[in-house]
Every structure is written in C-alpha cells, then in structure tokens.
Homo-oligomer: A and B are copies of this chain.
Amino acid sequence: MPREVRERQMLDAAVAAFARHGYQAASMDDIAEAAGVSKPLVYLYLKSKEDLFMACVRREVGALVAAVREGTRARGLTADQQLWRGLTAFFAHTAARPDGVAVLYRARTQGEPFAREVAAMRVEVVAIVTALLGQAAKDAGCPSELAEREVSGLAHALVGAAESLAEWANSRTAEHFFADEAAGSTTAPSAKETAATLMNFCWAGLENLMKGARWTPAPGPARGPAPAPAPARGRPGG
C-alpha cells in the first residue's frame, strides 16, 4: 500500500484519538491499531507522538483556513456577504469535521509548539475578518478615520464568538458545557443560521463604532440615544 494512503489513515486515526481523548491520554498503541497498522510503521512515517500531533494540527489548520478562504473568495459579492459566507463556511466545516476542530481546540492547551500553530492560524483568520469588516465599513460610507484598531477589536470579538459557538456545536467535546441549552433545542442550528446570528451581532457592533455610540459606566444626564448621524447609506441596515 502506497505511503500516502497509509499516512492518511494514520492521520485520520490520530485525529480521532486526539480529539476524543486529548494529547496525553491518546495512546500510540490505540492510534496504530485504529489505523490498522503496526506501531513501528507509525514511527517510521511520523517520527514521534509530538510530530504526529503536529501533523494533525497542521492538516486541520490547513483544512479550516482553506474552507474559510474558499467561502470568502466568491466574486461579485459585497463585503458583508463575503463575511457571512466565510462564517457559514466556518460553521459548516466545524460541523462536518468535529474531530479536526477538536484537535485544534486541544492543541491550544498543549503548550509551545502546538499552541503557536493555532495562534498563527487565528491571526490569519482575524486578518481576513478585519479586512472584510473594514471594507464593509467603507462601503457603508463610514469615515475612513475609523480607527483600524477598533475594527480589529471587533474582528477579534467576532472570531471569539464564532469559536464559542462552534465549540457549542461540537457536541463531542462540549456536550456538557451548554447543557442547559442542549436540553431545550432538539437540533443544532444550521451553519447559515448561526452565521446570520453572528452577522447580526457584528453588524450592531460595527454600526455602533461608526456612530461613535458608547456605553459608559458613569450615568450621565444625557444618555439617551445619540441623534443618528448621517444614516449609513449602504448595506448595514438597522
């Protein structure tokens, strides 16, 4: 059997094992057995447990980023729609490959070499989102002086929320985490619905940023809604 095929079998088995049990608790014995090969072969192809885990992480990072990029790449769409498509792709991927996502989730707590990989991925994704948000703001007639830093903050929040929601959808690792909600809803929401929900949040935030509206701890006399400035002309509707 050609090396590539064998190698993919091993990675598949490893991803499943790491997702289910975590890095430490997953045993090379189990992985080899699940892959249908002997242990020395695993060591021949992937040099160690660390390398095997890293290979899993990299593969899943690539798959996730590719999925998101693919979603946003469509031509002829406005920025907000691209963003929505990217989110949809993200949630669809998350639902389709729960084990792969779980591996990334585990990698984040696994220290030096692994966490860095996931962090890099995150940086990449945040950059994409920031660019799209900025573009959307511009499209909506937002004055360009809107601090990039603020948009970046919004992007971070959006990505964090997306991760949170994805974690929730991944019932394997998080089935007890949202136990209250899980009890109430019989089926998980579709990727599109979830993405729309997030868009809503994000849009509200963006609008606020553009309007300069803020919540402040000190209750002032004039905390009513600020008079909406020049109403956004473009897509972000209210």
Contacts and interface: CB of A to CB of B under 8 A. Distances in A.
A180 interface: yes
A197 B215 CA distance: 8
Consensus secondary structure, chain A interface: helix
B177 A156 contact: no
B211 A238 contact: yes
A217 B87 CA distance: 12
A127 to B, nearest CB: 9
What class of interface size applies to chain A in its complex with B? 35 or more
Given A84-B217, A238-B208, A164 B160 contact: yes
This chain's copy number in the assembly: 4
A177 B108 contact: yes
Contacts of A225: 228, 231-232, 237-238
Interface in A211-228: 211, 213-217, 219, 222-226, 228
Given A119-B177, A161-B164, A177-B115, A223 B237 contact: yes
A203 interface: yes
A178 interface: yes
A176 B119 contact: yes
A214 B200 contact: yes
Contact of A224 (B109, B115, B199, B237): B237
Nearest to A232: B225
B109 A109 contact: yes
A192 interface: yes
Interface in A150-171: 153, 156-157, 160-161, 163-165
Sorted from nearest, which 8 A-B pairs have the closest CB atoms? A160-B164, A225-B238, A223-B237, A24-B24, A213-B238, A204-B204, A115-B176, A203-B215
Given A196-B215, A211-B238, A223-B236, 17 more contacts: A24-B24, A80-B215, A84-B217, A108-B174, A115-B176, A116-B179, A119-B178, A120-B179, A160-B164, A196-B216, A199-B215, A200-B205, A200-B215, A201-B201, A203-B208, A219-B235, A224-B238
Interface of A: 22, 24-25, 78, 80-81, 84, 105-106, 108-110, 112, 115-116, 118-120, 122-123, 126, 153, 156-157, 160-161, 163-165, 173-181, 192, 196-197, 199-205, 207-208, 211, 213-217, 219, 222-226, 228, 231-238
